[in-house]
Structure 1
Amino acid sequence: MEIAKADGESAKDIAIELTNLSYHYPNTEEAGLKNISLSVKKGKFIVLMGKTGAGKTTLSLCLNGLIPQLLGGKLTGQVKVAGRDVSKTPVQLMSKFLGLVLQDPETQLIGRTVEEDTAFGPRNLSVPLAEIQQKVDHTLEKVKLKGYNQRLTEELSGGEKQRLAIAGVLVMEPQVLVLDEPTSELDPIGRAEILATLDDLRKKKDLTILLLEHSSEDVIQTADEVVVISGGEIIWRGEPAQLFRNIPLLQQHGLRPLPVSLIGWRFYEKGWIPLDNIPLDIPSAERLIRTMLFKYGQGRKNFNVSQDRKYFSASEEKAVQVNNLSYQYNSDQPALSGINLTITAGEFVALIGQNGAGKTTLARHLNGLLQPTSGDVFVQGMNTKEYDTSDLSKTVGYVFQNPDHQIFSATVEKELAYGLKNAGFKDVEIKDRLNQVLKDTGLEQYRQVHPFTLGKGERQMIAVASILVLKPQILIIDEPTTGADWSGVQAIMTLIQQLHLSGTTIIMISHDMELVARYAQRVVVLHEGGILLDGHPREVFAKEKVLFEAAIVPPQLCRLSLRLRDIFQEIRLEPEEFTALLESEEIP
């Protein structure tokens, strides 16, 4: 698909120019990119969206020459960035002009400390030492890592590592910045801060930004344009508003719709509003609902929330008991302090909080990966101080935030079979469990594929499957949807919900407040190593001011509910709880 330049554009106005770009990875018949032509003006903020495996990351790696200079394969067509022919420019030289933040931040961290890592690029360009220090301090402040200079990179949370990876690129002051899901592991306010920083840099320094992203709400606020890629081809390009009002198009290409737009789409389908009236933000949704109620609802107010979703009923049996738990890493302030928490068997609990609040640290105490500095942790009555992780793993399944931390086998099938063989299962049962889990997770087609040839979304599902096959009584899952497209998110969450309905205790760490609101029965908010809030999602998300202290922004529909307090008695969590208001009326 060819996308022409706008009228009046000249070569010096263009930051990125792709002409008939096609690419085949080594030893593959199917093209990763197919005849892509794309022109991006300087100073624009462009968002590239599409399903996992659509070709987004492949395209980004072409922009600084990593494809084909490092990864090989066959590339045809032309790539120009900042006026330079990428095929004729070494990767190390391109780093002066184009900064690339990879999807997995850990692949970009080199230094032992935060300061060393941020300084790596300027040092390799022989920037004077005093200037390097000034650049490092200034850049760390931009990404909210001020004061972290001597912090060990190995002790950073996933979100803090993402901030550091961004800092390592920003410090080079490139003309073009390409970011592959750079905020996927950040808390909600952290995401907003990073995107605001990028947008500010774009405006002040005429920086061109190409952002690869799955998050719809973030995109609608920042993007000049959205480019949708599918099967290695560009299939749509235009303004965000046009895309996010077209719900069928979003569903067709695995893109996540805005919750408020789902309300509007329902009204549009019924012929109550024109397409252009579908809301894309909370104020517009509030105005729409008030208008519709005034026009059709006859002033009806104070509607009770529909009955909550059905879940497995938690018993009185204690699955987890945490007593006065404190923990301190070697080079830091206490990560946890005085934690007391009881989780009963069969609950679905979400742990939320800003990056570094202690969520993962707490979770790693529940299977013995970490031992308390003080206090005790009991799992199914077992004190974790008295049992090895291997013993606890028979009861507690743990899926890491980064799937690559637990994948090591040569094929997907061997990865799933490994735990079963170690647990002493016989070949017949191993085969039966493998077949069932591969089917449930949609991984059958990848049975004999090496996991590291797959995208991060698929690797995340493999990590989940390798634990599910063991049928643990308690499942701890740390950021289960990171790197997954909307279709993948729905598949993973449906699977987790099914496990919960069958009686598994679920403890989920997530920065995705929409998923927390939709699936969790209980929300525990951690802040600075302690528990700030603990309750039902409707109760917790109603406390907007308190959540702000913990860098948490309630889900979009919860915020909408808070603006409609005079109509709703309680927080509403799903679009259907809004549309049911009017659908019960006889509207012509």
Structure 2
Amino acid sequence: MKPIVSFEEFTFQYKSVAEPTLQDITFHIYPGEKVLIAGRSGSGKSTLAHCINGLIPFSYEGTSTGNLSVCGIDPRHTSIFELSQHVGTILQDQDSQFIGLTVEEDVAFAMENDCTGQGEMKQIVQRSLEEVDMIKFHSHSPHDLSGGQKQSVSLAGVLATNAEILLFDEPLANLDPVSSEKAIQLMKKIHRQTNKTIIIIEHRIEEILDLDLDKIIILENGRIIAIEAPLELLQKNVLQKAGLREPVYVEALKTLEYPLSNEEVYPIENVNSHTLHETLSKWMLQNPIHTAIFEKECLCKIENISFAYLNRNFALKDISMSIYKGEILALLGNNGAGKSTLAHIMTGMKKTHQGKILLEGTDMTRWSIRKRGEVVAYMMQNPNHMITQATVWEEAAFALKLKNASEEMHKKVEHALQICGLYPFRNWPVQALSYGQKKRLTIASILVTSPKLIILDEPTAGQDYFHYKEFMMFIQKLAKRGISFLLITHDMNLAIEYANRAIVLHNGEVIADNAVTTVLANECILKRANLRVSSLTRLAKHGNMPIPQQFVQSYMEARRRKRS
């Protein structure tokens, strides 16, 4: 069988960049395979994807050597229009992919360019929307849909082109856990029905493994360091060495010195339950729970906040909660639960219908956005909605310039960029950064102002595990100095590992407020809020632990002590 994608000793170097971004790349993908391409930010995986879908060389100029073939075509010697008939790309930022005013118009866009007959076009649009279970939304605006629904519409548009290859750029980045699971099930369904080749660029390896991948390609510094089947890769330490996160339960098994040799480690159900029980029981005896008492000094108190959008039901209903000084609080819930609306109210971007917000006892409900911004900072989920300056340094320094804070500005900006891993790129144009690097840049631009409360909307989405850990360790250091953090996140592992407490929203109401391990062990709460059971909890249950969350708590405490 001939490969559908083939790279042989391929090297690519961007115009005006000193070193090649891809070096000596050789691999083959065969028709019908499901392949994950993973690597740290800057490893070259996005560049590799652009070589496959034709954005290189047509949108990004550079020079290349070696052989490249996609569906029997060399992308360097054809038009991007012709290549788009073979490769359909689903972008990470779905909003930037939509063109039509309605769902059906957007799906029909490519066929309109091909001058397809109206009758045939309607049939194809209907069939494509039915395949992704979105036919009932055919007349909706794409921008009014949830993250998972937007992704389904993008996929329907690609299916309408009959492309042989589906290329997904971080498809799970902006989805809640259950929506991620549905997205993966949808990919599996499409693969069963069409046998299309699926190529995925993704950081969230644990979730994407549910796609039953044929192989994983790992990049580091523009070179391939591994091409292996998932099970073989998990039994080694390749992911750790490449700065990527292993499935959390696999990481735990290695920490607990569970005998992995010749063992099936994926899925969890293949792990020997008897040996696992002995391993977990031994761990619990050696690592009893010693939870440090968190000293609670209230920083921000929200009292009976409600909010409704025009002509819609209430987005928030009688919300009351407290945020303590130096606390890292996780705000959890499904897409549309009201998490971002609450953040916008706290920053003053939206005005409350009732209730008030107290900061250190002072009512700031009527404060202006500018005045609130001096004490409450907010990082949006999409970095492109925040960035205004041309270069990395200018963006990081922008807030200080607005305040005329020239004193030690250079030192503060330099320190923030170093923490966020962007100092080597300080003179780069912002548009040359990857999505994950832009996220880190918005974080750096917030950190320079040292506010009392920082609201981070999906702070680690689109970031590799190396920078994920580096940033969260920095957040913990700031929290110890008294700065409070509200993490709006879909990442259950992030919440378990770093948050002191979790609040869960569902349909605009608080349905849980407790320790993270307690909240995430409550299956009723998880089901209502579209959250998934942590793989650590699943591991403890598979090992027949009487109280699974006790193991999770013990394990996470040990990790925190090790970091300290």
Q: TM-score, normalised by structure 2?
A: 0.90
Alignment partners' CA distance in 2, 1:448 and 1:387: 36
Match of 1:521 in 2: 500
Moved more, 136-145 or 427-436: 136-145
> What one-letter code is carried by the residue in structure 2 that aligns with 1:348?
I
Task: Report the equivalent of 2:265.
Answer: 279
* Shift in CA distance, 400/309, structure 1 to aligned 2, threshold 3 Å: farther
Q: Which amino acid aligns with 1:273?
A: P
1:172, CA displacement in angstroms?
A: 2.5
How big is the shift at 1:398? 0.4
How big is the shift at 1:142?
4.8
Letter in 1 for 2:465: W
**2:296 matched to which residue of 1?**
314
Q: Provide the rounded CA distance (Å) in 2 between the counterparts of 1:310 and 1:449.
A: 45
- CA-to-partner distance for each residue in 1:55-90, whole Å, 9 max, x for gaps? 111111111221102222113333322233323332
- Residue 558 of structure 1 and its aligned partner are, at CA, apart by 2.1
CA contact (8 A) 1:302 1:569 kept: no
Q: Does 1:404 align with 2:384?
A: yes
- Residues 531, 149 of structure 1: alpha-carbon distance in 2 compared, 3 angstrom cutoff: farther
Quick check: 1:433 aligned with 2:412? yes
Q: Which residue of 2 aligns with 1:376?
A: 355
Does the 8 A contact of 1:305 with 1:577 survive in 2?
A: no
Alpha-carbon distance change, 32 to 293 in structure 1, aligned in 2, over 3 angstroms: closer
SS in 2 for 1:523: strand
Cα deviation for residue 187 of structure 1 reads 1.0
Distance change >3 Å, CA 98–CA 438, structure 1 → 2: closer
Query: Equivalent residue for 2:247?
Result: 258
Superposed displacement of residue 121, structure 1: 2.3
Post-superposition Cα deviations, 1:465-519, rounded to whole Å, max 9, x if no partner, equal: 1111111111000001111111011112112222212111211111110011111
**AA of the residue aligned to 2:223:** E
Taking the TM superposition and a 5 Å limit, the aligned residue runs for 1:174-213 are 174-213=163-202
Counterparts of 2:292 and 2:261, CA distance in 1: 31
In 2, Cα distance between equivalents of 1:558 and 1:274: 19
What's the CA shift string for 1:134-163, capped at 9, x where partnerless? 544554455465544444444445555444
Give aligned pairs, total.
Answer: 557
Does residue 393 of structure 1 match 2:373?
yes
Q: Does 1:49 align with 2:38?
A: yes
Q: Find 1:24's aligned residue among 10, 13, 25.
A: 13
Per-residue CA shift, 1:430-459, capped at 9, x if unaligned? 233223323333332222222221222221
Name the residue aligned to 1:544.
523
Q: Find the counterpart in structure 2 of residue 584 from structure 1.
A: none
In structure 1, runs of 5+ residues without a counterpart are: 1-8, 581-588
Paired amino acid for 1:186: L
SS in 2 for 1:428: coil
Secondary structure of 1:481's match?
A: coil
Partner of 1:242: 232
Contact 2:337–2:507 (CA under 8 A) maintained in structure 1:
yes
**SS in structure 2 opposite 1:314?**
coil
The 3-state SS of whatever aligns with 2:450 is coil
Q: Tell me how far apart the structure 1 counterparts of residues 126 and 553 of structure 2 sit (CA, whole Å).
A: 43
Task: Please state how far the C-alpha of 1:314 moved relative to its aligned partner.
Answer: 2.7
User: What SS does structure 2 have at the residue aligned with 1:71?
Assistant: coil
CA distance in 1, matches of 2:293, 2:131: 44
Do the aligned residues in 1 keep the contact of 2:35 with 2:214 (CA within 8 Å)?
Answer: yes
Q: Residues 138 and 572 from structure 1, CA distance in 2 versus in 1: closer, same or farther, beyond 3 angstroms?
A: farther
Rounded Cα–Cα distance in structure 2 between residues aligned with 1:185 and 1:83: 34
Secondary structure of 1:339's partner? strand
Other structure's SS at 1:458 match:
helix
Partner of 1:583: none
**8 Å CA contact 1:25, 1:74 repeated in 2:** yes
Structure 1 residues 310 and 36: CA distance shift in structure 2, 3 A: farther
- Which residue of the partner structure matches residue 159 of structure 2? 170
Q: Which whole-Å CA distance do the structure 2 matches of 1:522 and 1:205 have between them?
A: 44
Once the two structures are superposed, the pairs formed by residues 63-462 of structure 1 within 5 Å of their partners are 63-140=52-129, 142-143=131-132, 145=134, 147-221=136-210, 222-247=212-237, 249-268=238-257, 273-277=259-263, 279-285=265-271, 287=273, 289-290=275-276, 292=278, 306-308=289-291, 313-315=295-297, 317-328=298-309, 333-372=313-352, 374-380=353-359, 386-425=366-405, 427-462=406-441
Q: CA RMSD in A?
A: 2.8
SS across alignment from 1:183:
coil
Which runs of 5 or more structure 2 residues have no equivalent in the other structure? 560-564
2:277 and 2:543 in contact (8 A); partners too: no
Q: d(CA) in 1 for partners of 2:194 and 2:239? A: 33
Cα offset, 1:290, TM superposition: 4.1
Quote the residue 2:533 is aligned against: 554
**Residue 441 of structure 1 contacts residue 461 of structure 1 at CA under 8 Å; is this kept in 2?**
yes
**SS class of match (1:335):** strand
Q: Identity over aligned residues, as a percent?
A: 29
Distance 1:286 1:553 in 2: 23
2:456 aligned with 1:470, yes or no?
A: no
Return the TM-score normalized by structure 1.
0.87
Q: Which string of whole-angstrom CA distances, capped at 9 and with x for unpartnered residues, describes residues 255-302 of structure 1?
A: 11122222332354xxx72522373333244615545359x95xx999
